[in-house]
């Protein structure tokens, strides 16, 4: 996967276009990644909402449970994913951030030993995890993120960080804590953030010859 002219290029990448945006970022471009879950029944239904001019929401990327990626806005364009939001000294974070929507139904409701999404789809226990949300103190059930989907999200964050001056990787729940709980405790946000932001900033391709050289010297 790579980025060319604000577009993601790769085998599992599809491009669509959302009308919901505010034009180009100011000079310097985005410095924040904001992660979301879709709370939808499928990536396709999320994409249709995020492209609907009447809904007035969008995101740069949607990552399916199968790891397929759909880009709805080029990375030089301001999307409408964060809404009312703030972090440290800044507010209205759309103007500083790229939005990644991850296909996941979100919080589940337990009734008579069974788990249901907010749109009344039963979820198998194998696809659910119990967890305490960072803003709450009681454990509840959440739709799990498949490992392959998490790996794609991490790859995307790493790639975007190598192409843009990304300083913050945040959950929607952190920038809009009064009204949002995504991506929720099923998403390993703290671990991902620690891994990515502690990595030395360098183009991914440069790590290959270093590894090859090390292998040569020890064989
Ligand atoms: Zn969100």
Query: What is the 4 CA–ligand 1 centroid distance (Å)?
Result: 26
**Residues whose CB is less than 8 angstroms from the CB of residue 171 and which lie 6 or more positions away in sequence, other chains included:** 34, 35, 36, 182, 183, 187, 189
Backbone angles phi, psi at 101, to 5 degrees: -100, 130
Query: What is the 92 CA–ligand 1 centroid distance (Å)?
Result: 14
Query: What is the 205 CA–ligand 1 centroid distance (Å)?
Result: 32
Backbone angles phi, psi at 103, to 5 degrees: -65, 110
Query: What is the 208 CA–ligand 1 centroid distance (Å)?
Result: 35
Higher pLDDT, 129 or 205: 129
Kindly tell me if the per-residue pLDDT of 33 is higher than 90: yes
Query: What is the 215 CA–ligand 1 centroid distance (Å)?
Result: 43
In this prediction, residues 136-163 reach a mean pLDDT of 97
**Interval 55-73: pLDDT, tens:** 999 999 999 999 999 999 9
> Domains along the chain?
2-218 (3.40.80.10)
Query: What is the 207 CA–ligand 1 centroid distance (Å)?
Result: 33
Weakest-pLDDT range from 25-29, 57-61, 111-115: 25-29
The predicted pLDDT at position 212 comes to 41
The total of other beta-carbon atoms located within 10 Å of residue 9's CB is 12
Query: What is the 116 CA–ligand 1 centroid distance (Å)?
Result: 20
User: Residue 176 and residue 198: Cα distance in Å, rounded?
Assistant: 25
In this prediction, residues 159-166 reach a mean pLDDT of 95
User: Residue 190 and residue 159: Cα distance in Å, rounded?
Assistant: 18
What the block records as the tokens of 163 is 């192409």
Query: What is the 217 CA–ligand 1 centroid distance (Å)?
Result: 47
Query: What is the 47 CA–ligand 1 centroid distance (Å)?
Result: 14
**Sign for the pseudo-dihedral over CA of 171, 176, 182, 187:** positive
SS (H, E, C) the chain: CEEECCEEECCCEEECCCCCEEEECCCCCCCEEEEEECCCCCHHHHHHHHCCCCCCCCCCEEECCCCCEEECCCCCEEECCCCCCEECCEECHHHHEEEEEECCCCEEEEECCEEECCCCCEECHHHEEEEECCCCCCEEEEECCCHHHHHHHHHHHHHHHHHCCCCEEEEHHHHCCCCCCCCCCCCCHHHHHHHHHHCCCCCHHHHHHHHHHHHHHHC
Query: What is the 10 CA–ligand 1 centroid distance (Å)?
Result: 25
**Interval 91-109: pLDDT, tens:** 999 999 999 999 999 999 9
Query: What is the 24 CA–ligand 1 centroid distance (Å)?
Result: 21
Query: What is the 87 CA–ligand 1 centroid distance (Å)?
Result: 15
Query: What is the 149 CA–ligand 1 centroid distance (Å)?
Result: 17
Query: What is the 146 CA–ligand 1 centroid distance (Å)?
Result: 19
**Sign for the pseudo-dihedral over CA of 181, 187, 190, 196:** negative
Query: What is the 28 CA–ligand 1 centroid distance (Å)?
Result: 24
């Amino acid at each position: 996967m790579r980025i060319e002219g604000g577009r993601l290029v790769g085998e599992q990448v599809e491009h669509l276009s959302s009308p919901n945006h505010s034009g180009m970022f100011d000079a310097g471009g985005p410095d924040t990644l904001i992660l979301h879950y879709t709370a939808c029944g499928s990536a396709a239904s999320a994409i249709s909402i995020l492209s609907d001019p009447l809904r007035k929401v969008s995101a740069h990327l949607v990552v399916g449970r199968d790891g397929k990626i759909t880009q709805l806005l080029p990375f030089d364009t301001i999307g409408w994913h964060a809404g009312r939001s703030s972090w440290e000294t800044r507010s209205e974070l759309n103007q500083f951030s790229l939005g990644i929507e991850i296909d996941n139904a979100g919080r589940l409701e337990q009734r008579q030993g069974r788990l249901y999404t907010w749109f009344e789809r039963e979820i198998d226990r194998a696809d659910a995890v119990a967890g305490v949300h960072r803003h709450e103190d009681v454990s509840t059930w959440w739709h799990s993120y498949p490992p392959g989907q998490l790996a794609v999200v991490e790859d995307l964050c790493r790639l975007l960080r190598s192409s843009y001056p990304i300083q913050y990787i945040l959950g929607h729940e952190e920038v809009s804590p009064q009204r949002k709980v995504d991506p929720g405790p099923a998403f390993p946000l703290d671990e991902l953030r620690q891994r990515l932001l502690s990595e030395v900033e360098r183009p991914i391709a440069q790590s290959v010859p270093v590894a090859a050289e090390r292998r040569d010297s020890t064989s």
